[in-house]
Structure 1
């Protein structure tokens, strides 16, 4: 009997519906430890595929006979091979069709809020921990921080019967390729990003966020205020929606702050981040709902499936937001950034429009988790 495939969407639906999933990841241990599929409903184990090819009987001992096993590899071929071996031995087994490559390109929209004639949808790129947003009012939509697969937003806008009129990036992304310019091109929408992020770049047409203190969506009054929040990158900008929702980019997260070291000026940018935290953010209400562009841990996803938290709760949980000593703050933030995002220099060049790459190269550049946050919870 042929082994059955499982798509990334089918796997996610199974997880989302609360059904337990047993994953056998057959990549090498280094890749598995760096980046894997995680969820509270998942039990996973890493046994490299060559253990099965070598007929190592010990490889089979941890595998359940009474539970379906989903075999996962990088692109699908090794998983299929192992799944066929397990199938011959009587295991209930399926394999993820295109492996982690397919999982890395799965987008999942969740409604954050729907009231007063406005809807905010958070689009979670689960494997990357990347978040983007669609704000809808009266048939019009703004998209913030879209991922590379711009067609996902076209489909979502069609489902919502909305026309995308503006596309905005909070900053020049370093760990994934922005879909902003392409989405703007295909919809005829205006593309916005900070002028400070695009200095010297002329290949991408954009309107500077500094020139737009207020943007409206639809006939219902929806205010989007551009709030300068440098630190992660010099031109980082956050958006305050209806004085209640802070689309914070990579400046402030549920569990940390944006890393300030990607420009090689960790201490200098950490001090800018200090000014952001204790000037702009300090004046915001505890009732402000922070909606970031990244998350690093699935625990940051709440019971509604949304990555977000009230600023008051973040202040209580996050020591660095209470650390008013500038030098201590700078030392903690500048010294805790960890591994840099792989390929980030090339990704930044792509997002500035300095270079173009074919789709297969773009896929390879984005593989892996995000590493844009500094956690101090």
Structure 2
């Protein structure tokens, strides 16, 4: 029996078109609760795979609709395929998600944030991970910020725009996913920039951001200002474009703030984060558009289809930015980090260039959502 197959990219396109979908997730309950496919018109039901294997127990039938197609999902696609075949034998219209959540974690969706006469900014949303990266185009030149490890996504977009990638920047040393910055720079001959303090003596070829605070980028004067915004990590930077768009990395999110505890110095880094939020970022006007490196909720979508919000909106809705004293901030933020991102140590070793892993291991390491926020406010 052959059941239907839906690719992760097809699923994203259907969610983006606001189709009504019914997803049956057959992973264990804890895995489902930790991380699953979401969408504005997506109904998701979790019934573990083993419940479908009992030969005479069909109690799962009372939970499933018979008047609409079912899309079955699991971790890698194998269990979902088996369950979809069982459902087909019982008269259901069923298909399964190819490669499951692993495949879903590799979908990248480009959204144009701004396009003016001579420059363009695209946000590349890795929807299954909540990771965000950026491509800035001006003339035939491209700059990439916080690239994921799937470097072909950036090469293809640059090619579509007739541009060569000349600059690659990581705003900080990522802990929840493998950066593609070094590989992308190597493939294109671009310069790779990251703060020297992020690499802790590692030998990755790079240009320290401390030496290049400002670029006049491309065919026009697009000011790219690297603003030191430590706290999530000691060398974190934000990039200010034309005084209007702030790429904040993991410093400030639409609904939260970067967690300062991943280096084992939560109190010390929270002090840095306080200065960043209430001195550096506080000096910027309300109409600056914040574009972060991660998000945790569909509530963080802008009406334009990207993840972002003006500083004025964030100041009004993000409770962390309204804390009235340094001590209150330190108490709440230093203690609010939650569980450490899975495989944090190994991922940071890879991103520092002291370890390499095959693709299969990279898939395992990146499984699950990002956990870079210390605190999130639901808008």
* TM-score, scaled relative to structure 2: 0.98
Residue aligning to 2:293: 293
Whole-angstrom distance in 2 between the partners of 1:304 and 1:312 = 17
Residue aligning to 2:371: 371
Give structure 1 regions of 4+ aligned residues with deviation exceeding 3 angstroms: none
TM-aligned CA deviation for residue 237 of structure 1: 0.5
Aligned length: 376
Whole-angstrom distance in 1 between the partners of 2:53 and 2:305 = 39
1:340 is paired with a residue of what secondary structure? coil
Whole-angstrom distance in 1 between the partners of 2:359 and 2:372 = 23
Check the 8 A contact 2:118/2:219 in 1, yes or no. Answer: no
1:51 is paired with a residue of what secondary structure? helix
Residue aligning to 2:140: 139
Whole-angstrom distance in 1 between the partners of 2:361 and 2:222 = 39
Residue aligning to 1:104: 105
2:283 is paired with a residue of what secondary structure? coil
Residue aligning to 2:245: 245
1:37 maps onto 2:47 in alignment: no
TM-aligned CA deviation for residue 4 of structure 1: 1.0
Check the 8 A contact 1:266/1:334 in 2, yes or no. Answer: yes
Check the 8 A contact 1:191/1:206 in 2, yes or no. Answer: yes
Counterparts of 1:320-339 in structure 2 under 5 Å? 320-339=320-339
Whole-angstrom distance in 2 between the partners of 1:278 and 1:301 = 24
Residue aligning to 2:149: 148
Residue ranges of structure 2 left out of the alignment (5+ in a row):
none
CA offset digits 1:82-107 (Å, max 9, x no partner): 00010111111110111111001111
2:274 is paired with a residue of what secondary structure? helix
TM-aligned CA deviation for residue 159 of structure 1: 1.3
Counterparts of 1:79-90 in structure 2 under 5 Å? 79-90=80-91
Whole-angstrom distance in 1 between the partners of 2:183 and 2:24 = 37
1:342 maps onto 2:342 in alignment: yes
Check the 8 A contact 2:271/2:330 in 1, yes or no. Answer: yes
Check the 8 A contact 2:170/2:193 in 1, yes or no. Answer: yes
TM-aligned CA deviation for residue 376 of structure 1: 4.5
TM-aligned CA deviation for residue 26 of structure 1: 0.5
Residue aligning to 2:79: 78
Whole-angstrom distance in 1 between the partners of 2:316 and 2:21 = 34
Residue aligning to 1:196: 197
Backbone CA RMSD of aligned residues: 0.9
TM-aligned CA deviation for residue 146 of structure 1: 0.3
Residue aligning to 2:10: 10
Whole-angstrom distance in 1 between the partners of 2:303 and 2:38 = 16
1:261 maps onto 2:252 in alignment: no
Check the 8 A contact 1:278/1:324 in 2, yes or no. Answer: no
Residue aligning to 1:206: 206
1:60 maps onto 2:61 in alignment: yes
TM-aligned CA deviation for residue 167 of structure 1: 0.4
Whole-angstrom distance in 2 between the partners of 1:283 and 1:191 = 29
Residue aligning to 2:275: 275
Whole-angstrom distance in 1 between the partners of 2:191 and 2:111 = 25
Check the 8 A contact 2:76/2:102 in 1, yes or no. Answer: yes
Whole-angstrom distance in 2 between the partners of 1:41 and 1:157 = 32
Whole-angstrom distance in 2 between the partners of 1:192 and 1:94 = 44
Whole-angstrom distance in 2 between the partners of 1:135 and 1:86 = 47
CA offset digits 1:140-192 (Å, max 9, x no partner): 11000000111110111111111110000000000000000000000110000
TM-aligned CA deviation for residue 322 of structure 1: 2.3
Check the 8 A contact 2:259/2:375 in 1, yes or no. Answer: no
Whole-angstrom distance in 1 between the partners of 2:13 and 2:345 = 35
Whole-angstrom distance in 1 between the partners of 2:222 and 2:297 = 31
1:22 maps onto 2:22 in alignment: yes
Check the 8 A contact 1:137/1:217 in 2, yes or no. Answer: yes
TM-aligned CA deviation for residue 319 of structure 1: 2.1
Whole-angstrom distance in 2 between the partners of 1:304 and 1:58 = 43
1:51 maps onto 2:64 in alignment: no
Residue ranges of structure 1 left out of the alignment (5+ in a row):
none
